Amino acid sequence: MDPTQEAPREGEQPDDQTPDQKLDEAFGAIRERVLSELLERVRQVSPQFFERLVVDLLLAMGYGGGQKGSEIGTVTPFSKDGGIDGVIREDPLGLDNIYIQAKRYGPDNPVGAPEVQQFSGSLDMHGAQKGVFITTSRFSGAARAYVEKVQKKIVLIDGERLALLMLAYGLGVQNERTLAIPKVDQDYFDLDGF
Protein backbone atom coordinates (compact mmCIF):
# COMPACT_ATOMS: atom_id res chain seq x y z
CA MET A 1 0.00 0.00 0.00
CA ASP A 2 1.17 3.50 -0.87
CA PRO A 3 2.31 5.17 2.37
CA THR A 4 0.78 8.50 1.26
CA GLN A 5 -2.69 6.94 1.10
CA GLU A 6 -4.88 6.73 4.13
CA ALA A 7 -5.49 3.16 5.30
CA PRO A 8 -9.05 1.97 4.69
CA ARG A 9 -11.28 2.03 7.73
CA GLU A 10 -12.55 -1.22 9.14
CA GLY A 11 -15.14 -2.77 6.82
CA GLU A 12 -14.16 -0.54 3.86
CA GLN A 13 -12.55 -1.83 0.71
CA PRO A 14 -9.41 -0.13 -0.55
CA ASP A 15 -10.13 2.32 -3.36
CA ASP A 16 -8.65 0.82 -6.52
CA GLN A 17 -10.31 3.23 -8.92
CA THR A 18 -8.31 5.74 -10.89
CA PRO A 19 -9.43 9.38 -10.84
CA ASP A 20 -10.72 8.93 -14.42
CA GLN A 21 -12.81 5.94 -13.35
CA LYS A 22 -14.22 7.89 -10.41
CA LEU A 23 -15.09 10.77 -12.72
CA ASP A 24 -16.79 8.43 -15.21
CA GLU A 25 -18.76 6.82 -12.40
CA ALA A 26 -19.84 10.19 -11.00
CA PHE A 27 -20.82 11.42 -14.46
CA GLY A 28 -22.85 8.24 -15.02
CA ALA A 29 -24.68 8.74 -11.71
CA ILE A 30 -25.47 12.39 -12.58
CA ARG A 31 -26.67 11.37 -16.05
CA GLU A 32 -29.00 8.69 -14.63
CA ARG A 33 -30.42 11.18 -12.12
CA VAL A 34 -31.04 13.76 -14.85
CA LEU A 35 -32.73 11.17 -17.11
CA SER A 36 -35.03 10.16 -14.27
CA GLU A 37 -35.85 13.78 -13.36
CA LEU A 38 -36.39 14.67 -17.02
CA LEU A 39 -38.87 11.86 -17.62
CA GLU A 40 -40.74 12.67 -14.40
CA ARG A 41 -40.96 16.33 -15.41
CA VAL A 42 -42.27 15.41 -18.87
CA ARG A 43 -44.96 13.25 -17.27
CA GLN A 44 -46.16 16.33 -15.36
CA VAL A 45 -46.58 18.72 -18.31
CA SER A 46 -49.94 19.34 -19.95
CA PRO A 47 -50.95 17.15 -22.89
CA GLN A 48 -50.73 20.19 -25.18
CA PHE A 49 -47.19 20.96 -24.03
CA PHE A 50 -46.22 17.31 -24.52
CA GLU A 51 -47.44 17.38 -28.13
CA ARG A 52 -45.30 20.49 -28.78
CA LEU A 53 -42.37 18.80 -27.03
CA VAL A 54 -42.40 15.74 -29.32
CA VAL A 55 -42.54 17.94 -32.44
CA ASP A 56 -39.65 20.03 -31.04
CA LEU A 57 -37.67 16.85 -30.35
CA LEU A 58 -38.02 15.51 -33.89
CA LEU A 59 -37.03 18.90 -35.29
CA ALA A 60 -34.00 18.98 -32.95
CA MET A 61 -33.07 15.52 -34.26
CA GLY A 62 -32.90 16.93 -37.79
CA TYR A 63 -36.26 15.89 -39.19
CA GLY A 64 -37.65 18.61 -41.38
CA GLY A 65 -34.23 18.98 -43.00
CA GLY A 66 -33.02 21.49 -40.45
CA GLN A 67 -35.37 24.07 -41.91
CA LYS A 68 -36.75 26.86 -39.78
CA GLY A 69 -40.35 27.96 -39.61
CA SER A 70 -43.58 26.92 -38.01
CA GLU A 71 -44.83 25.28 -41.21
CA ILE A 72 -42.07 22.62 -41.01
CA GLY A 73 -43.23 21.08 -37.74
CA THR A 74 -46.77 21.64 -36.57
CA VAL A 75 -48.93 20.48 -33.71
CA THR A 76 -52.45 19.62 -34.80
CA PRO A 77 -55.47 21.19 -33.06
CA PHE A 78 -55.85 19.59 -29.64
CA SER A 79 -59.34 18.22 -30.18
CA LYS A 80 -60.65 16.45 -33.27
CA ASP A 81 -57.13 15.80 -34.54
CA GLY A 82 -58.01 12.50 -36.20
CA GLY A 83 -55.46 10.59 -34.13
CA ILE A 84 -52.54 12.73 -35.30
CA ASP A 85 -50.89 15.05 -32.78
CA GLY A 86 -48.19 16.55 -34.99
CA VAL A 87 -46.81 16.62 -38.51
CA ILE A 88 -43.29 17.29 -39.74
CA ARG A 89 -42.59 18.09 -43.37
CA GLU A 90 -39.53 16.02 -44.25
CA ASP A 91 -38.52 18.07 -47.26
CA PRO A 92 -38.85 21.70 -48.35
CA LEU A 93 -41.65 20.94 -50.82
CA GLY A 94 -43.69 18.88 -48.39
CA LEU A 95 -43.59 15.78 -50.59
CA ASP A 96 -43.23 13.52 -47.56
CA ASN A 97 -44.53 13.97 -44.04
CA ILE A 98 -43.94 12.26 -40.71
CA TYR A 99 -47.05 11.94 -38.57
CA ILE A 100 -46.80 11.88 -34.79
CA GLN A 101 -48.90 10.45 -31.98
CA ALA A 102 -48.06 11.51 -28.41
CA LYS A 103 -49.42 9.78 -25.30
CA ARG A 104 -48.48 11.18 -21.90
CA TYR A 105 -49.14 8.15 -19.70
CA GLY A 106 -47.96 7.17 -16.24
CA PRO A 107 -45.28 4.50 -15.86
CA ASP A 108 -47.83 1.80 -14.95
CA ASN A 109 -50.06 2.45 -17.97
CA PRO A 110 -48.46 0.88 -21.07
CA VAL A 111 -49.59 1.68 -24.60
CA GLY A 112 -51.22 -1.41 -26.04
CA ALA A 113 -51.80 -2.72 -29.54
CA PRO A 114 -55.25 -1.05 -29.90
CA GLU A 115 -53.74 2.46 -29.56
CA VAL A 116 -51.00 1.65 -32.09
CA GLN A 117 -53.58 0.13 -34.47
CA GLN A 118 -55.67 3.31 -34.22
CA PHE A 119 -52.58 5.38 -35.05
CA SER A 120 -51.90 3.12 -38.02
CA GLY A 121 -55.47 3.71 -39.19
CA SER A 122 -54.96 7.46 -38.84
CA LEU A 123 -51.89 7.17 -41.05
CA ASP A 124 -54.06 5.39 -43.64
CA MET A 125 -56.55 8.28 -43.55
CA HIS A 126 -53.71 10.68 -44.43
CA GLY A 127 -52.19 8.38 -47.06
CA ALA A 128 -49.04 8.23 -44.94
CA GLN A 129 -46.42 5.52 -44.65
CA LYS A 130 -44.34 6.95 -41.78
CA GLY A 131 -45.26 7.60 -38.20
CA VAL A 132 -43.69 8.08 -34.79
CA PHE A 133 -45.60 7.09 -31.67
CA ILE A 134 -44.10 8.57 -28.50
CA THR A 135 -45.18 7.84 -24.94
CA THR A 136 -43.90 8.67 -21.48
CA SER A 137 -44.78 5.11 -20.51
CA ARG A 138 -43.83 1.93 -22.38
CA PHE A 139 -45.29 -0.24 -25.14
CA SER A 140 -46.80 -3.66 -24.60
CA GLY A 141 -45.34 -6.68 -26.37
CA ALA A 142 -48.46 -6.84 -28.54
CA ALA A 143 -47.97 -3.21 -29.61
CA ARG A 144 -44.35 -3.89 -30.58
CA ALA A 145 -45.37 -7.06 -32.44
CA TYR A 146 -48.03 -5.15 -34.36
CA VAL A 147 -45.57 -2.59 -35.82
CA GLU A 148 -43.36 -5.45 -37.01
CA LYS A 149 -46.26 -6.82 -39.09
CA VAL A 150 -47.51 -3.69 -40.84
CA GLN A 151 -46.00 -2.40 -44.06
CA LYS A 152 -45.90 1.17 -42.80
CA LYS A 153 -42.84 2.36 -40.92
CA ILE A 154 -44.02 3.13 -37.38
CA VAL A 155 -41.34 3.95 -34.82
CA LEU A 156 -42.21 3.45 -31.15
CA ILE A 157 -40.42 5.63 -28.60
CA ASP A 158 -41.04 4.82 -24.95
CA GLY A 159 -40.40 7.07 -21.96
CA GLU A 160 -36.89 5.83 -21.32
CA ARG A 161 -35.82 6.38 -24.92
CA LEU A 162 -37.64 9.74 -24.98
CA ALA A 163 -35.54 10.97 -22.05
CA LEU A 164 -32.34 9.68 -23.68
CA LEU A 165 -33.17 11.48 -26.93
CA MET A 166 -34.03 14.71 -25.11
CA LEU A 167 -30.69 14.57 -23.31
CA ALA A 168 -28.76 13.71 -26.49
CA TYR A 169 -30.34 16.56 -28.48
CA GLY A 170 -30.36 19.12 -25.66
CA LEU A 171 -34.13 19.51 -25.38
CA GLY A 172 -35.33 20.51 -21.91
CA VAL A 173 -31.82 20.32 -20.46
CA GLN A 174 -28.88 22.67 -20.14
CA ASN A 175 -25.28 22.22 -19.14
CA GLU A 176 -24.70 23.25 -15.56
CA ARG A 177 -20.94 23.42 -16.01
CA THR A 178 -18.21 22.20 -18.33
CA LEU A 179 -15.18 20.44 -16.98
CA ALA A 180 -11.97 20.56 -19.05
CA ILE A 181 -9.70 17.65 -18.16
CA PRO A 182 -6.09 18.24 -19.16
CA LYS A 183 -3.67 15.62 -20.43
CA VAL A 184 -0.14 15.78 -21.78
CA ASP A 185 -0.06 16.48 -25.52
CA GLN A 186 2.09 13.65 -26.90
CA ASP A 187 2.06 15.19 -30.39
CA TYR A 188 3.79 18.29 -29.06
CA PHE A 189 6.59 16.28 -27.49
CA ASP A 190 7.01 14.13 -30.60
CA LEU A 191 8.38 17.27 -32.31
CA ASP A 192 11.51 16.95 -30.13
CA GLY A 193 13.29 14.91 -32.85
CA PHE A 194 13.46 17.60 -35.55
Strands, E, within 96-177: which ranges?
A: 97-103, 130-135, 153-157
Taking 70 as the threshold, does the pLDDT of residue 20 lie above it? yes
Residue 70 located in a structural domain: yes
Q: Do 71 and 59 meet the contact criterion of CB atoms below 8 Å apart?
A: no
In a domain, 15, yes or no: no
Give me the mean pLDDT over the 94-114 stretch. 92
Number of domains in the chain: 1
Q: Report whether pLDDT(8) > 70.
A: no
Mean pLDDT estimate for the chain: 87
* pLDDT average, residue stretch 183-191: 86
Residue 1 belongs to some domain of the structure: no
75-79, 87-91, 108-112: range with lowest mean pLDDT: 75-79
Q: Is the pLDDT of residue 2 over 60?
A: no
| DSSP type of residue 8 | P
Residue 144 lies in a domain: yes
| The pLDDT value given to residue 85 | 92
Higher pLDDT, 185 or 146: 146
Evaluate whether 35 touches 163 at the Cβ level (below 8 Å). yes
Give the residue among 110, 88, 109 at the shortest CA–CA distance from 98: 88
Is residue 136 a part of any domain in this protein?
yes
CATH of the domain at 53: 3.40.1350.10
What pLDDT score does 19 carry? 87
pLDDT digits (tens, 9 = 90+) for 136-182: 999 999 999 999 999 999 999 999 999 999 999 999 999 888 888 89
Q: Taking 80 as the threshold, does the pLDDT of residue 27 lie above it?
A: yes
Q: Which domain holds residue 151?
A: 35-168
The confidence score (pLDDT) of residue 174 equals 92
- pLDDT score of 89 more than 80: yes
The predicted model gives 88-95 an average pLDDT of 78
pLDDT above 90 coverage of the chain, percent: 59
Q: How confident is the model at residue 5 (pLDDT cuts 50, 70, 90)?
A: low
Q: Would you say residue 117 lies in a domain?
A: yes
Asked if the structure places residue 23 within a domain, the reply is no
Of residues 118 and 63, which shows the higher confidence score? 118
Separation between Cα atoms, residue 130 and residue 186, nearest integer Å: 49
- Residue 96 within any structural domain of the chain: yes
